[in-house]
Amino acid sequence: MKLDKMSIKFKLFFYLSVFAAAMLIMLWLFQIVFLDDFYRQIRINNIKDSAETIEENINNDNLNILLNSISQQNQTFIRILLEDGSNVFSSDAAPDSLIHRMPSSELYALYQKALQNGGTLLELRTREEPKDILYKDKPFEGKMPRGYGMKDESMIYVETVEKEDGSKVIIFLNSTITPVTATVDTLRIQLVYVTAITVLLALGMALFVSKSISRPIIKINSSAKELARGNYDTVFEGRGYLEIAELNDTLNYAARELSKVEGLRRELIANISHDLRTPLTMITGYGEVMRDLPGENTPGNIQIIIDEAKRLTTLVNDILDISKLQSGTQALTAERFNLTKGIEEILKRYGKLTEQDGYRLKFESAGDIWVNADPVKISQVLYNLINNAITYTGADKTVTIAERISGSRVRIEIIDTGEGIAEEQLPLIWDRYYKVDKAHKRAAIGTGLGLSIVKTILDMHRAEYGVISKNGQGSTFWFELRLDSRDAETKEGGCKLT
């Protein structure tokens, strides 16, 4: 099983077990394998230190006090002899003391060895444990208990020292190292229990921790599956720790957004099919009338068919524009152009509308204004804002387009005298497919895409934009473009806005 396919439970158990095993191995190494060596080393250093202290104080009259104290505190047997074998000092002789039991010949041999060795000698001696064979031919009931301390290990340290008066003394120190064996055996038994307890604890903890970690994840996962099935009202409820709470919030946010998009999508389909059906019904209706009734074949009726076809075109273009803009496939092709001239060109095209329906489009120009922007896209912005203003303006049928210089920017305002927009709707009108008043007769003409196109284009230009509007007091849509700092070389020219 690959590690990333493991459930949290197994993974945690795996890691905890590795951790526990590492701890146990360390414990075992230090407490059992190396304990003897550690202990032995400590004892060796200890005995060497003792010898050194004795050597330093060998001429002291109160040497005996020091020797007794070393002997008691360090459980060390001490003998100090003269070269001829006569005793200078001997700590209390105990049955364990090798240097007290040894015949003088052996002590002499040790002394000789020390001399050859440069004056000091350290010797480790082991007395083997009596073998069980001893009991084999004399059967006893039950198990023979192991004899702790039967295996003796002791060390002898020999040092020759010259006293102030020129006489030579030999210091013999002897201490046992045995007790560790007993300790190790105790520890070994304890370690078996510790291992068993640790494994159980690791398992228990893995289960507990994994459960508390995975519970919210499992919960979130099943909610996410719900969401994937299209149930956008799903609420994510996983709690327990920071990361999960954050994931939870993010998913709740995503679910809310998805449900919004889903709502808008449904609305769009309803809107678009309605918007497509209206002109199509008109076109078919007028077409049939003109076919069946010769007298109805008038330029007026043909115009209606053309207008409706144009509406369809606008609608389809809007949808295409927004999807192209928002998919990021359209790049800006910014160039230097005369904005004032551009606006005038656009207004010229509205000429027919003003004549026919009595709309008044006023332009407050600020002279030749040069900007560096994408002329085609800026004209889309202007068309959309002016179309909206014409659609929603008041009974005086007036729309004002104002051009104002403020610092290094030009501010374009499209002002109408209509009903305005309620304050709570203001942040929403830039959203895709958003329409304020669905019952409004004229509003039904729009697709709800116009301002979204405007927003996307102005964002691409990093332009500032906004709307000032109050219910009943008309609306002012505005945007600002940075002026092109170069001087206008071609005063009369200027790029045509399409």
Q: Which residues bind ligand ADP (CB under 6 A)?
A: 384, 388-389, 392, 416, 418, 421, 429, 434-437, 443, 446-452, 475
Q: Cβ of residue 396: shortest distance to ligand ADP, in angstroms?
A: 14
Q: Cβ of residue 258: shortest distance to ligand ADP, in angstroms?
A: 22
Residue number, 185 or 307, with CB nearest to ligand ADP: 307
CA nearest to 116, candidates 124, 105, 108 = 108
Q: Under a CB-based contact definition with an 8 Å cutoff, are residues 255 and 232 in contact? A: yes
CA nearest to 182, candidates 72, 32, 77 = 32
Q: Cβ of residue 269: shortest distance to ligand ADP, in angstroms?
A: 16
Q: Cβ of residue 311: shortest distance to ligand ADP, in angstroms?
A: 11
User: Which one-letter amino acid corresponds to residue 270?
Assistant: A
Residue number, 107 or 463, with CB nearest to ligand ADP: 463
Helix axes 242-292, 179-228, angle to 10 degrees: 20
Q: Cβ of residue 240: shortest distance to ligand ADP, in angstroms?
A: 43
Q: Cβ of residue 458: shortest distance to ligand ADP, in angstroms?
A: 13
CA nearest to 334, candidates 372, 295, 388 = 372
Q: Cβ of residue 11: shortest distance to ligand ADP, in angstroms?
A: 52
Residue number, 33 or 428, with CB nearest to ligand ADP: 428
User: What is the C-alpha to C-alpha distance for residues 476 and 217, in angstroms, rounded to an integer?
Assistant: 50
Q: Which DSSP string do the residues of 273-331 spell out, in sequence order?
A: HHHHHHHHHHHHHHHHHHHH-GGG--HHHHHHHHHHHHHHHHHHHHHHHHHHHHHT-PP
Residue number, 171 or 449, with CB nearest to ligand ADP: 449
Q: Write 218-223 long-range contacts (CB < 8 A, 24+).
A: 220/244, 220/247, 220/248, 220/251, 223/251
Q: Which helix (H) or strand (E) holds 253?
A: helix 242-292
Residue number, 215 or 311, with CB nearest to ligand ADP: 311
Straight-line distance from the first to the last Cα atom of the chain, in angstroms, rounded to the nearest whole number: 64
Residue number, 70 or 268, with CB nearest to ligand ADP: 268
Residue number, 204 or 472, with CB nearest to ligand ADP: 472
Q: Under a CB-based contact definition with an 8 Å cutoff, are residues 65 and 71 in contact? A: no
User: What is the C-alpha to C-alpha distance for residues 425 and 447, in angstroms, rounded to an integer?
Assistant: 17
Q: In what order do the strands lie in the sheet with 464-469?
A: 360-364, 398-406, 409-416, 475-482, 464-469
Residue number, 28 or 434, with CB nearest to ligand ADP: 434
For tokens 């360390």, the residue is 26
Q: Cβ of residue 263: shortest distance to ligand ADP, in angstroms?
A: 16
Residue number, 321 or 416, with CB nearest to ligand ADP: 416
Q: Cβ of residue 452: shortest distance to ligand ADP, in angstroms?
A: 6
